[in-house]
Each structure stands twice: as structure tokens, then as C-alpha cells.
Amino acid sequence: MAYYVILSNLTDDGRKTIKEKPERILEVNREIEKKFGVKLKDQYAVLGPYDFVNIVEAPDNETVMKMSIELGSRGSVQLLSLPAIPVSELLKKLK
């Protein structure tokens, strides 16, 4: 399994949905785990250029791509997915 940092921005529709139904965030989290096999490790609401930072674990890049296309096609969020390597793994590879 690989780690990914997912930076997300809500669209106007996404902000409206979250305002009216905040628990939608948790529904989507459960959906990505069940439908795509992407395990949510950490999730933060943040200030600045992004609305959320998510740390996920997924089998491969293709799985994250499918998830991103599915979520993005709904029109409520835009995602930026970054593959991540734990520092301990990086140090092993550098030796």
C-alpha cells in the first residue's frame, strides 16, 4: 500500500452541501474506503489555499486516479493528489 496526500478545494456547490449537511464529509470518507479501497489515515480542515488535507493509503496510483475522477466529476470538490514516501522509507532507499 502507498501513501498519498490529497489536497482539496470545495466548489461553490461543495460549500453549499457542507453547510446544509456537514456529515456529508463522513459519508464520502466511508464511500472512498468501501468503493475504492482507499483508507483514510488523517483528515484536516485547513485555512489557506486548500480547504482540506487528507492522508490516505491506497493500493496504487490508478486507484487514487479513479477516486479523484469520481469525486471530481460530482462538481463539489477539486483534488490535487500527491504520492508520499514516509521519511523512514526514503532513508532506507538512500542507503
CATH code, domain with 70 = 3.30.70.920
Q: How far apart are CA 80 and CA 58, in angstroms?
A: 15
Q: Which domain holds residue 53?
A: 2-94
User: What is the domain count for the chain?
Assistant: 1
Question: pTM of the full predicted structure?
Answer: 0.90
C-alpha distances in Å from residue 12, one per residue of 16, 18, 42, 48, 66 = 6, 10, 24, 16, 23
CA angle 41–22–20, rounded 5-degree value: 155
Residue whose C-alpha cell reads 480547504 in the numeric block: 51
Q: What is the pLDDT along the chain (95 residues), one digit of tens a residue?
A: 899 999 999 999 999 999 999 999 999 999 999 999 999 999 999 999 999 999 999 999 999 999 999 999 999 999 999 999 999 999 999 99
